[in-house]
Structure 1
């Protein structure tokens, strides 16, 4: 550390000036967070108590859980749940895209029809919609295809073509379409107006403007909410148990209705719901990462890349020693 000599005018105005040559000589006071460690310790104790209860409490009956977690009847019901989720998602978002286009169009007829559809299907509870489609044959004993207000070309019995599974898919898809339409519309209008103007200035056709410039940016706003809707639909398929469709929750109910093992069978359903929701969350993460390429210059490493980097650092430090 050295002291610089100052002139008479400077010393009178500001006093002596001290220059630090070595920043490393400055003392560094470590910030202490005692309550952070106390809170962490309490949280870990509570987690340990919960895990201990899961392992030692005989009421969980883990032997029954292990017996039924991969039972053929449960796996068959899980397949039905996945099929309901898949068809409900595909049809729901397909209809939702057209509803969103109708809401954003300049055609007042399409705007009103889309708005009324979304208003109606968001207002009616899902279980009411499902039961309505399940009992459609009460209103229409037969269905026909033909010219509107003209002759019929094909006629068939409603119960012959509208099974319980089909009614569930229709109900889930139409209900999902109302919510997905608003999610898609919100993603599109979130794109800055300047992007639309720039796309038009390039002289590209409308289709290229939308799919190469607008849609990728809209997807960043659409994906998080859309993934939430898919996960909600996956868990919401349990409501079709009211229609006696052998999905996961219904099959679990049937089993514990026979053997009385309610808790372990509920844990079977819970474990499958958690597992598949985790898979959907991982898929969501990588899709969002794909569409984030245009918004950030360098993407952050994935969790797997971080783990590999940590192991590489450990190996390099071990080799250096």
Structure 2
């Protein structure tokens, strides 16, 4: 009899589709990136990221309370550092009263249950816009990792639950783990950007934090000497293996949609939690297309997030977290 198997029986109505759905989203899947600036009463929209804002610490208090009330339980903090505080050593990154350290404390005071993750990299603090210390036209690896270890310890002392090194220096997870353990913060976790690619999708983010590499003689104006080549796949396995061996609790793939094959590779290779960062360029493209009426923003947003989770992600850092949480109820 033809056909004896009819797959469409399980698509007949919303109820049956919901019952047999293999992948589902919830607010528990999302990490909310937040951009922090100095000042009071500031909530300024980022030009290249419509609907997303930089905010001062007083505004941050109300923001995290709202997020928690929506079922969003994790934030990832980034700071826009004043130019006068930038140098080539990362000195301000270690300031116990720096903007990042105060932001961590602000979140914990406003909403103690909120999981606080912090960006660990030197580019917001660098006069060159690089993730590491620059010397003789090169980004130094070992000198940078030493500072990243101190930076992570400073974040833990301020109350961070997890530190998130986004720099892609070799060996930095091990250095950070040792710094945390030696400092008495054995319970502070590490979410490592293990497979972070030298992508062209980061432009709006760098604009938001004024952290783009500076074009100067003999200094690279891109990050290709430390972030991964978009053409490489097996390298992501090597990088992630090393990070896990060095003590990473969560590993991350960045960006998202163009690298879902990498997410699937990591999911099949490892049994640790995997995060994906749906980056600023991905956000900006959808916002722009929706503003033109070319795409249904809500439908495409949810389809993108679902595809990231279906590929194998346990956690998704996304600028759509608030909007998605509203739709998920």
TM over 0.5: no
Greater share of helix residues, 1 or 2?
1
Structure number with higher relative contact order (C-alpha < 8 Å, ≥ 6 residues apart) = 1
* Structure index of larger Rg: 1
Q: Give the TM-score band, short-chain normalised.
A: under 0.3
